Structure 1
Amino acid sequence: MLKIALDVAYLLLALVTLILLIALVAFVFVPVESLNLTVSNSEGGVQQALTRPLIVFALGVLSAWFGGFLLILRQLRQIFRTLTQGDPFQPGNVRRLRLIGATLAIVTGGVWIAQSVVAARLAPGVLDRQGVGALLTPIFSVLVVFVLAEVFREGARLRRESELTI
């Protein structure tokens, strides 16, 4: 059941990422008419013109976000494949877990930076900048993945030692 869920999620993320990349390329070349975006909160709102750079920025950020999670799901599918084969403690899975941790860190940092840029440039005074406190849970998640990678590294080492034992 988990394998089916991973496969479906991977295909959906691949489709969404592809659509966003096509839209990104299209908006680089397609002229944009005068469009406005209204960002509001309980105290009021700000109307912002949707320019080509703003649309390209938004599509680029979304493409990178979905692409990062697509890469994570790809690595999880490969780890799951070794699990179903009965051999999860191998050096390849250590590398995959480290890549997942690095990707999570990059995506988390990218989202934090993008939200700060949007709050400062798109809707100053309406949207609040993200504080460092918003990074605590994602940083903890990244650390958990790196610790799990070390557990898998140690498991692979112990497996190699037991194979050498007569």
Structure 2
Amino acid sequence: MANRLSKLIPSRLRAPAVGLPFRAMGHGSVASLLKIALDVAYVLLALLTLVTLVGLVAFLFIPDDNLNLTVSNTDGGVQQALTRPLIVFGFGVFSAWFGGFLLILRQLRQIFRTLTQGDPFQPENVRRLRLIGVTLAVVTAGVWIAQGVVAARLAPGVLDRQGVGALLTPVFSVLVVFVLAEVFREGARLRRESDLTI
């Protein structure tokens, strides 16, 4: 059908065939290179998560006498005592943050594995994208709440609270991930129908 239509259109009115100079999916493609980059990032983030967890456990037992933090700004600066609750809270928040992104990278690696195999429209990818969306939403909300707690209770005057406007980009990102999950769900449905037809 598309061939017949293209024959009806005069050649001077046809859009030129534009091909990409590289393959997007399959072995030796851009997807396989991105999969390698995600593997490296996953290992590095796993190490960072481990370090913050070790720091969290260590500061439960290390004495915190005479620890101070000075934050400079245009007004000169604020000196904040680094109490054990503040340090443990900080390490806990960073551990959770790194752990959340570690989970996101794990799901992305599995999605890119299917892209490298040339078969992205699998039902598992829909579940993976939804899990990425939920994790991203939880991490975003957690960071927003943690920054509010630090600004109001643990270190007043050191850190400003984030406004609701700071949530616009992360919320948009979460919505994009959920839309992509629906696109993959529809692709998986069409592929399943095509397999049944054959």
TM-score after normalising by structure 2: 0.80
Matched, 1:55 2:79: no
Between Structure 1 and Structure 2, the one with more strand by share is: 1
The 8 Å contact of residues 140 and 170 in structure 2, kept in 1 or not, is answered as: yes
The 8 Å contact of residues 39 and 123 in structure 1, kept in 2 or not, is answered as: no
- Per-residue deviation, 1:97: 0.2
> What is aligned with 1:154?
186
The amino acid across from 1:2 in the alignment is L
> Structure 1: which 5+ residue stretches go unaligned?
none
The 8 Å contact of residues 104 and 142 in structure 1, kept in 2 or not, is answered as: yes
Identity rate of aligned residues, in percent?
A: 86
> What is aligned with 2:120?
88
Whole-Å separation in 2 of the counterparts to 1:65 and 1:122: 19
- Per-residue deviation, 1:40: 3.0
The amino acid across from 1:113 in the alignment is I
Matched, 1:45 2:88: no
SS in structure 2 opposite 1:41?
coil
> Structure 2: which 5+ residue stretches go unaligned?
1-32
Whole-Å separation in 1 of the counterparts to 2:195 and 2:167: 42
Matched, 1:16 2:48: yes
**Greater shift after overlay, 153-162 or 121-130?**
121-130
- Per-residue deviation, 1:126: 4.6
Between Structure 1 and Structure 2, the one with more helix by share is: 1
> What is aligned with 1:27?
59
Q: Cα RMSD (Å) of the superposition?
A: 1.2
Counterparts of residues 44-123 of structure 1 (less than 5 Å): 44-123=76-155
Whole-Å separation in 1 of the counterparts to 2:80 and 2:171: 33
The 8 Å contact of residues 80 and 158 in structure 2, kept in 1 or not, is answered as: no
Higher CA-based Rg: 2
**Greater shift after overlay, 27-36 or 102-111?**
27-36
The amino acid across from 2:117 in the alignment is Q
